[in-house]
Amino acid sequence: MRVDMFENIWSYRELFIRGIWVTLALTAVGYIGGFILGLFVGLGKLSKRKWIYYPAKYYVDFFRGTPLLVQILLIHTALIPSLFGHSLGFFVSGSVALMLNSAAYNAEIIRAGIQSIDKGQMEAARSLGMPHNTAMKLIILPQAFRRMIPPLGNELIALLKDSSLVTVIAASDLLYAGKVVAGAYSRFWEPYLTVAILYLILTFIFGKIINMIEKRFSNSYVPSSRKSISSDRRSRTGGDKR
């Protein structure tokens, strides 16, 4: 009986595969957009100018202080129809909602990352005559990004999971595939367990990739110190290559 059910699920595999792609696409668009927007909002929260600071602050407060589910419904059923006169489909609404939401979380990560860089770095850059924005771009952000990698990685995995909320606006994502099968057979264990396992595999893969990136950018700025030692040795025996 149970084996039969998994066979039924297998016959829906294309729906699940499509669901995985939709989930990944929503996550990717939401995350990349959320990162870029979050960078500006995060910088805004560091601004001394009130007319920049307060909009950034209220933005973060709103999107962190209200449920994502509510934001998705507001954007899909109210905001977009009133801006464009009609719905633009679940993908636009869903990715916009995920983007706006993750921007608020990323903004806080980016702000904290920038603030964690020693004040002396900005002072040294300014004392060399760099304007504030140049110093931010060349000196502060490259250092801050390294420290942001772990929390930004967590944010990516959180967003991947949260993207399942767009099912409420009939998005054909991974969770939706499970829902369809559950509805078709009135069975709940197998379809939703399948969905859970597929999410688990996705978050596991993302976790591995993030771990690799973290390792690559942790503790030392010296690019792969091991390699440079061995190439030193080679150049010592084989003459100076430079």
Q: Which positions touch other proteins (CB under 8 A)?
A: 118, 120-121, 123-131, 134, 138-139, 142-143, 146, 220-222
Angle at 16 between CA 184 and CA 180, to 5 degrees: 20
Shortest distance (Å) from residue 167 CB to other proteins: 42
Shortest distance (Å) from residue 127 CB to other proteins: 4
Among residues 44, 76, 78, the alpha carbon closest in space to that of 59 is found at: 44
Q: Which is nearer to other proteins, 18 or 146 (CB)?
A: 146
Shortest distance (Å) from residue 126 CB to other proteins: 6
CA 183 to chain centre: 31
Q: How far apart are CA 41 and CA 43, in angstroms?
A: 5
Q: Which is nearer to other proteins, 89 or 131 (CB)?
A: 131
186: left (phi over 0), alpha (psi -120 to 50) or beta: left
Distances (CA, A) of 83 to 77, 125, 187, 222: 11, 44, 40, 50
Shortest distance (Å) from residue 51 CB to other proteins: 20
Q: Which is nearer to other proteins, 146 or 187 (CB)?
A: 146
> Encoding tokens for residue 39?
């960078």
Q: Which is nearer to other proteins, 1 or 222 (CB)?
A: 222
